[in-house]
Amino acid sequence: MAARSQLIEAPLHAYAVQVSRCSGVGECAAVCPVGVFGTDLGGRCAVMNEELCFGCMACVAQCAENGVAVTPRDARRYPSVEELLR
């Protein structure tokens, strides 16, 4: 798969993804271009394919609860969401 972020030049699996809270709306899963998310038995967002994340940050922007965190696996090579927003 050759997906790349439009924000930065980062390969797949460059970022770790965590969901800390979710009300079950499903918008973060819907905006993910590579299918990182699925849902758990309660209908809440769950990370299913973290290795596909390339740091586009669409899920972070879409989550109304600020419940999704995307962090670089190598902070020396890839920027955090805070650095991207500066």
Residue pLDDT, tens place only, 30-62: 899 999 999 888 888 999 999 999 888 899 989
- How confident is residue 85, by pLDDT bands cut at 50, 70 and 90? low
What CATH topology corresponds to 15-84? Alpha-Beta Plaits (3.30.70)
CB 7 within 8 A of CB 55: yes
Q: What is the 3-state secondary structure (H, E, C) of the chain?
A: CCCCCCCCCCCCCCEEEEECCCCCCCHHHHHCCCCCEEECCCCCEEECCHHHCCCCCHHHHHCCCCCEEEEECCCCCCCCHHHHCC
CA distances from 81 to 10, 42, 85 (A): 13, 28, 6
pTM over 0.85: no
- The whole-number pLDDT of residue 46 equals 93
